[in-house]
Amino acid sequence: MIRLLIVDDEYYIRLGIKNAIDWKSIGIEIVGEAEDGEQGLAMALELEPDLLLMDIRMPFLDGLELLEEIAARHLDCGVIVLSGYDEFEYAQRAIKYGVLDYLLKPIDKNKLKETAMNAGIAIRKRRSVQHYQQLVNKEQTAIRAQFLRDFICGTITDETFADSRIQELHLPLSDGPFQVICVKLDDYSLLERQLPPEELADLRDCVF
């Protein structure tokens, strides 16, 4: 479920947005509403919504200032901007902050539904890509760690293979006559007491 925060200084606009469509039917939950940009920022920091539906002209913090604060604080949320016809050029300045879309007032409920659905799709797609990238990074970290363990312990003896894997895994090992690798052993004193003498000797040969 996409979590939506509405930020608009006009009560009846907020009420109209909430009642215009069946939000839950399109996978969106309204988690809060704010009546100005300053309150909107505080609620965004507290609630961490996925989507912000915000007016461009508001007291205390206007839409552009709110977008600047969101960007500065690295809040991961999509934004749909509301503006009147006479504010459209002003609203277009928000494009540098990566807003998902614009809606002109008075708001057409069919256009609101379409825009919100498209925003939900874009957010879910972005989150899916981020999740996939995290999995890839996690997997690559594990592969790098295993390669370095094998490399340090002498399991890998083929220099051509080792060089190619270093390039593939983007390991920061530069060319030169010597390479220095620092290894930190967790609970080494415990290992000294638990490992058989021959295994402890192998361990010392690998890392000292």
Does residue 156 belong to any structural domain of this protein?
Answer: no
Mean pLDDT of 134-158: 71
Does residue 178 belong to any structural domain of this protein?
Answer: no
Task: Name the residue type at position 144.
Answer: R
Domain span at 45: 2-131
Task: Specify the DSSP class assigned to residue 102.
Answer: E
For residue 29, report the phi and psi dihedrals to the nearest 5 degrees: -120, 125
Does residue 90 belong to any structural domain of this protein?
Answer: yes
For the cut 70, the answer to whether the pLDDT of residue 135 exceeds it is: no
Does residue 143 belong to any structural domain of this protein?
Answer: no
- pLDDT tens digit sequence for 25-45: 999 999 999 999 999 999 999
CATH of the domain at 48: 3.40.50.2300
Domain count, the chain: 1
For the whole model, what pTM was predicted?
A: 0.64
Q: CA separation (Å) from 109 to 22, 105, 143?
A: 11, 11, 51
Q: How confident is the model at residue 206 (pLDDT cuts 50, 70, 90)?
A: low
Does residue 190 belong to any structural domain of this protein?
Answer: no
Does residue 144 belong to any structural domain of this protein?
Answer: no
Task: Name the residue type at position 138.
Answer: K
Does residue 197 belong to any structural domain of this protein?
Answer: no
Give the pLDDT score at 16: 93
Does residue 200 belong to any structural domain of this protein?
Answer: no
For residue 92, report the phi and psi dihedrals to the nearest 5 degrees: -65, -25
Residue 54 contacts residue 7 (beta carbons within 8 Å)? yes
Query: Which span out of 77-86, 149-158, 176-185, 198-207 was modeled with the highest average pLDDT?
Result: 77-86
Percent of the chain at pLDDT > 90 equals 33
